[in-house]
Structure 1
Amino acid sequence: MASILAFLIAFAFLLPYSSLTRAAPVAQCRSIPGDTAWPSSADWATLNNTVDGRLIATIPLAAPCHKALFNLPNLAFDLARCEALRTVWYYPETHLQSASSPMAYPFSNNSCNPWLGPDTPCTLGFHPVFSINATKSAHYRAAILFATKHNIRLVIRNTGHDYLGKSTGAHALEIWTHSVKGIKLFTQYTGPTFSGPAIKIGAGVLAGDAYTFASEHGLVIVGGNCPTVALAGGYTQGAGHGPFASRFGLAADQVLEWEVVTATGELLTANAQNNSDLYWALRGGGGGTFGVVVAMTVKAFPDTFTSTATMTVLKNETNADALYEGIGTFLQNLLSLVNSGATAVWVAAPFGFMLTPAMAPGIHQSELDEILKPTLDKFHQLGLETSYSSREHTTFLTAYNSLTESWNVSNYNVGGRLIPRELVANNTAAITRVIRNISERTLMSGVSYNVSHSVASPDDVAVNPYFRKTLFSLTVGTPINYTDWSATTAAQNEITHDFLPQVEKLTPNGGAYLNEGDFQAPDFRTLFYGAHYDKLLKIKDKYDPQGIFYAKTAVGSDRWEQDANGRLCRTKG
């Protein structure tokens, strides 16, 4: 205890907060270091004791790249370690083990940048000040009550797979849920809406681990395409698409029960019978705003053979017109593909087109080949050199593992929009033109599915009802420039003000996937939540009347604004 107390006292004096001592009214703004209301070192030490010594003072991941840390000589400066870090910086595994490193790097506000020279100081920027490496609900409770008592910004972080800046925040105390593991099989779960096998998943369980556990019991569950995303966090709470979306629905559609700690520190069970409004809100109403999830129980289904297919057509100086004509046929072909129960992840970019992959659970290879035949025939008819392969696997997990690899996460700004089936069916030429306009300049991807029949009514869950008429989620990525902050900002603005407005013209009153949308979207309430926003706000006010939980673009977030120094204050409205 003495050692951690000494460190915390020292750490409090290391942080460069002398310019942030302009205390704001407590009733209107969250406290920050330098304010008289900010906790003392003794307060932090007491919190550390309460959470079993699991309080972590933030040292940014790229600290070894800089000679100065928090305005003092950096004893951790090590160019060899820095270079090793740079080689793996873009991969999620690099950031998963850090309590504070945002995978979407711009949300650090360009602090402690690993690509800037060693004479550039490492600062805390918009990283949280402290994190609690939580392993149980009592740790959640302690963090929530401490943040409430001291009027501190609270941040919820799981794995950090987050393109909207929800899982980091300046001057904040963070609850890090990554270590809340635990997974349990119910061979026969019985509830008012479902009877059958189910699996209880701790907040920190990753998709790949959950898939493996389910497979060991002859089962599958609905999860995402990336194996390092934790399922119970913002993924499922934000809707959650993936390989089984066309067969079983969105991840939010599968949840039978939540264990969640609310803003009062109370541990609740939320299901169709108890706290049913909270149960509804957490199924697609967004993470980090209604409470902090400890675990969720989801439906499980019998494992099945699964077929996969990949396709590549490269663009050259002469084939662009033919390529996009072929992509138009592919878009039309998607309608039959997703209606069969398959999903498709695809990319259109300056280099060409890739299907990466189509996943078809319960569909034989020959059937998948036949479904994709119109696209292949069109590419061949147009004289385009096309690489295509397909394969049938005995289980879902073998199919999944044959395709997954390291996923780059930290080199693109992101924004997106949902594309309805009706648009593709009735105006393929228009959406193809927009895809061409975007993908000839930057990276664009689509995740295609049909979730129209996975719930009895779009209002059964909090997910934006627009999902039920969606054919694919279109996502635009522009490069992050680690050595030119203004270029990175301009690239994000290009998504907001150039690329996505082209899509918006074709999808007025449309929607976007909460987990891959544009954090600068001017009307996030309609875009992310649709007709469910007002109901979600009432539930938010019921369970979090003081607004303890804040996240960018979350329900109720427009009641707050962040100033240039990262201080969070209530808006006049």
Structure 2
Amino acid sequence: MDRRDFLQMMVATAPVAVVGWNDSFAGAAESLPTPRIRPGNAGWPSQTAWEQLKQAVGGRLIKLKSPLTACIQAPDSADCTELWKNLGNPFFLGDDPALTQTLGWVGAWTSQPSAYAVSAHSTEDVVAAVNFARDHNLRLVIKGGGHSYQGTSNAAESLLIWTRHMDAVITHDGFVPSGCEGRQQPVRAVSVGAGVLWGKAYNEVTTKAGRYVQGGGCLTVGVAGLIQSGGFGSFSKTYGLAAASLLEAEVVTADGEVRIANACTNAELFWALKGGGGGSFGVVTRLTLRTHALPGFFGAVAMTIQAGSDDAYKTLIARILEFYTTALLSPHWGEQIVLRPGNLLAINMLFQGIDQQQAELTWRPFLDWLDAGNQDFQLSADPFFISAPARHFWDPRFLEKVPGIVLFDARPGASADNMFWAANLEEAGQVLHGYQSAWLPASLLERDRREALAGMLFAASRHWCISLHMNKGLAGAPAEVVEQARDTAINPAALEAFALLISAAAGPPAYPGIPGHEPGAAKADRDVEAIGRAMSEVRRLVPNPGSYVAESDFFEERWQDAFWGANYPRLLAAKERYDPDGLFINHHGVGSEGWSADGFTRLAGR
């Protein structure tokens, strides 16, 4: 039995012992609630009850069946051949309520459709679905973008609230949250429905309205899910967490009430929604976010450097860390520096607030240093610098003229604005093998600790690829940006981090039981072992690091502390207040330690 099988067995058969936090469930009734009802069990809603729900939601109740299941019986059929082609299209995945953007995680979870889905077009649809699930004791799942690496946007034998069609975007010249009149000044803002993807939000706010809204880098990620995870984008060191831009949310809580949450009304729920994890406190139906003035330009810098030896690679790592500390640790720069086995270092960074000439001048000392050591280092190509007016950065009509940057949804009838970054292509339909992350504190960049940091990165890169996401840490951001993030539920470690280190592996679209398309379990095990060795080097330098809930290990044992740190007890109190019966339970979501791994059964003593 390997590590993952053992952990799954333990989670499924025994309570999780977490000192202190689990005590919040100690007062549960001696007679536990009836487990969530499954299809075929006594208490499963009658056909008449389902018809009543269908009428209540305007006929938009869908009985789900995954298109993948048909391929188990006929893997070589024309329909299945076409399906495998479409699984690389994130819009195809998102448009089918039976699918998810990631098809699974080997040894952890497999994408499975709910029994039924309510295709919500309005808040009233959501209320009807929440009330139905609560009254009939059903497992409830919420999906908008469907990008959860943890599998939280799907669960077999459940009722799904699918918010994809709640996609209105409305900009405001002067927004004041409800109940805050006279206490807050009007600000420019945008209101988005729960199903809006970041690509659409950017197109409406930036391309059309000439403003900026802080959000994610991937264009097909849902706005609502990212906000509830905290939310990092390419320019977080300038504009902060996406969650910190939240001004107001409309949310349907477990009692079926529609609540407005902001700093003046339901303030504790508002705080919990800002980074407390998606789908843990209710169904968010609308969000209003502060918008910002656009800089003149957004731009990119890219290069890949091959070091000629291990010693040269160590020197290169030390030099890039010194250069980053002195020249790039600022609001101007974000995105990634990647260290690969084989002594390769890749730089893919974005900038704002400066033009291309200023960006090139910033990098000139580093490039001169490389030239001076040309026997030890080789660039795979000339360094790439590009910039464009910020208003065109997410403009589909502008980007379609730039080769290799974006791809479009080629299905007949698809919106001409359906685009995604070409660099995200391999993520569509992926099956994860392993995924771990750790926030690296900025104190590691201090002169007396930088050598240890460089040594750790070199040692980790001997085992697996390590990416430093410089935009996913707020060290180097303006003080006011850091303070705004302090009023969110995210692990405070993010505020002191200069980067989020990620080590991960995935395979192409695959599904168990389909001949020729099954996940590669043996390779996944090898990848997991390599990632584990790499992350062991990280933890020698940074024991018990914080981790980003949206990009983290499914098997994280200390998830409460890793994801939320000192904020977890407050989040748990909010959970008990707004969802005391656990209608909204996700894997490693707030309060999930009181439930079985599948979210169907409350555990004794919780």
What is the TM-score when the length of structure 1 is the normalising length?
0.84
Shift of 1:541: 0.7
Change (3 A) 1:438 1:496: closer
For residue 263 of structure 1, give the secondary structure of its aligned residue in structure 2.
coil
Over residues 1-23 of structure 1, what are the superposed CA-to-partner deviations in whole Å (9 max), with x where a residue is unaligned? xxxxxxxxxxxxxxxxxxxxxxx
Over residues 88-145 of structure 1, what are the superposed CA-to-partner deviations in whole Å (9 max), with x where a residue is unaligned? 4244223111113122222597999xxxxxxxxxxxx743222211111111111111
Change (3 A) 1:109 1:502: closer
Q: Equivalent residues in 2 for 1:149-160 (5 A)?
A: 149-160=135-146
Q: Distance in 1 between matches of 2:33 and 2:53?
A: 23
Change (3 A) 1:63 1:367: same
Larger mean CA deviation between 127-136 and 488-497 belongs to 488-497
Change (3 A) 1:64 1:457: closer
Q: Distance in 2 between matches of 1:536 and 1:359?
A: 34
Q: What does residue 346 of structure 2 align with?
A: 354
Contact residue 317 and residue 458 of structure 2 kept, 8 A: no
Change (3 A) 1:63 1:428: same
Over residues 232-261 of structure 1, what are the superposed CA-to-partner deviations in whole Å (9 max), with x where a residue is unaligned? x22111111112211110101111111111
Q: What does residue 37 of structure 1 align with?
A: 43
Q: Equivalent residues in 2 for 1:243-258 (5 A)?
A: 243-258=234-249
1:468 aligns with 2:498: no
Over residues 310-346 of structure 1, what are the superposed CA-to-partner deviations in whole Å (9 max), with x where a residue is unaligned? 3232548x44542453233223333331314321223
Q: What does residue 7 of structure 2 align with?
A: none
Specify which of 477, 494, 500 is matched with residue 504 of structure 2: 477
Unpaired segments of 5 or more residues in structure 2?
1-30, 407-420, 511-517
For residue 432 of structure 1, give the secondary structure of its aligned residue in structure 2.
helix
Specify which of 193, 196, 206 is matched with residue 187 of structure 2: 196
Code of the residue aligned with 1:474 in structure 2: it is L
Unpaired segments of 5 or more residues in structure 1?
1-24, 69-76, 113-124
Q: Give the paired residue count.
A: 524
1:390 aligns with 2:411: no
Larger mean CA deviation between 329-338 and 166-175 belongs to 329-338
Shift of 1:480: 3.3
Larger mean CA deviation between 428-437 and 179-188 belongs to 428-437
Contact residue 334 and residue 351 of structure 2 kept, 8 A: yes
Specify which of 308, 316, 324 is matched with residue 299 of structure 2: 308
Q: What does residue 133 of structure 2 align with?
A: 147
1:181 aligns with 2:167: yes
Larger mean CA deviation between 249-258 and 478-487 belongs to 478-487
Q: Distance in 2 between matches of 1:549 and 1:271?
A: 21
Larger mean CA deviation between 191-200 and 39-48 belongs to 191-200
Specify which of 353, 361, 364 is matched with residue 355 of structure 2: 364
Contact residue 256 and residue 272 of structure 1 kept, 8 A: yes
Q: Distance in 1 between matches of 2:216 and 2:97?
A: 22
Contact residue 470 and residue 498 of structure 2 kept, 8 A: yes
Contact residue 334 and residue 448 of structure 1 kept, 8 A: no
1:127 aligns with 2:113: yes
Contact residue 485 and residue 495 of structure 2 kept, 8 A: yes
Q: What does residue 77 of structure 2 align with?
A: 79
Contact residue 504 and residue 531 of structure 2 kept, 8 A: no
Q: What does residue 438 of structure 2 align with?
A: 417
1:277 aligns with 2:268: yes
Code of the residue aligned with 1:331 in structure 2: it is L
Contact residue 415 and residue 495 of structure 1 kept, 8 A: no
Larger mean CA deviation between 222-231 and 193-202 belongs to 193-202
Contact residue 253 and residue 455 of structure 1 kept, 8 A: no
For residue 339 of structure 1, give the secondary structure of its aligned residue in structure 2.
coil
Shift of 1:210: 1.0
Q: Distance in 1 between matches of 2:101 and 2:130?
A: 24
Change (3 A) 1:497 1:322: closer
Q: What does residue 118 of structure 1 align with?
A: none
Q: What does residue 330 of structure 1 align with?
A: 320
Specify which of 324, 342, 346 is matched with residue 333 of structure 2: 342
Code of the residue aligned with 1:427 in structure 2: it is R
Q: What does residue 435 of structure 1 align with?
A: 457
Q: Distance in 2 between matches of 1:91 and 1:436?
A: 36
Change (3 A) 1:312 1:28: farther
Specify which of 572, 580, 596 is matched with residue 561 of structure 1: 596
Shift of 1:280: 0.8
Q: What does residue 121 of structure 1 align with?
A: none
Code of the residue aligned with 2:67 in structure 1: it is L
Q: Distance in 2 between matches of 1:110 and 1:82?
A: 25
Over residues 496-553 of structure 1, what are the superposed CA-to-partner deviations in whole Å (9 max), with x where a residue is unaligned? 7444333223222421111101121101001000110000110111111111001111
Q: What does residue 7 of structure 1 align with?
A: none
Code of the residue aligned with 1:271 in structure 2: it is N
Q: Distance in 1 between matches of 2:562 and 2:222?
A: 24
For residue 357 of structure 2, give the secondary structure of its aligned residue in structure 1.
helix
Larger mean CA deviation between 494-503 and 339-348 belongs to 494-503
What is the TM-score when the length of structure 2 is the normalising length?
0.80
Contact residue 196 and residue 299 of structure 1 kept, 8 A: yes
Contact residue 199 and residue 298 of structure 1 kept, 8 A: yes
Q: Distance in 2 between matches of 1:499 and 1:445?
A: 11
Code of the residue aligned with 2:503 in structure 1: it is V
Instruction: Say which structure, 1 or 2, has more relative contact order (CA 8 Å, 6+ apart).
Output: 2
Contact residue 110 and residue 485 of structure 1 kept, 8 A: no
For residue 281 of structure 1, give the secondary structure of its aligned residue in structure 2.
helix
Specify which of 229, 241, 245 is matched with residue 221 of structure 2: 229
Larger mean CA deviation between 208-217 and 379-388 belongs to 379-388
Q: Distance in 1 between matches of 2:247 and 2:605?
A: 39
Q: What does residue 217 of structure 1 align with?
A: 209
Q: What does residue 12 of structure 1 align with?
A: none
Q: Distance in 1 between matches of 2:169 and 2:443?
A: 40
Shift of 1:226: 0.8
Shift of 1:494: 3.2
Shift of 1:478: 1.8
For residue 562 of structure 1, give the secondary structure of its aligned residue in structure 2.
coil
Contact residue 307 and residue 399 of structure 1 kept, 8 A: no
Taking only aligned residues, the RMSD between alpha carbons, in angstroms, comes to 2.7
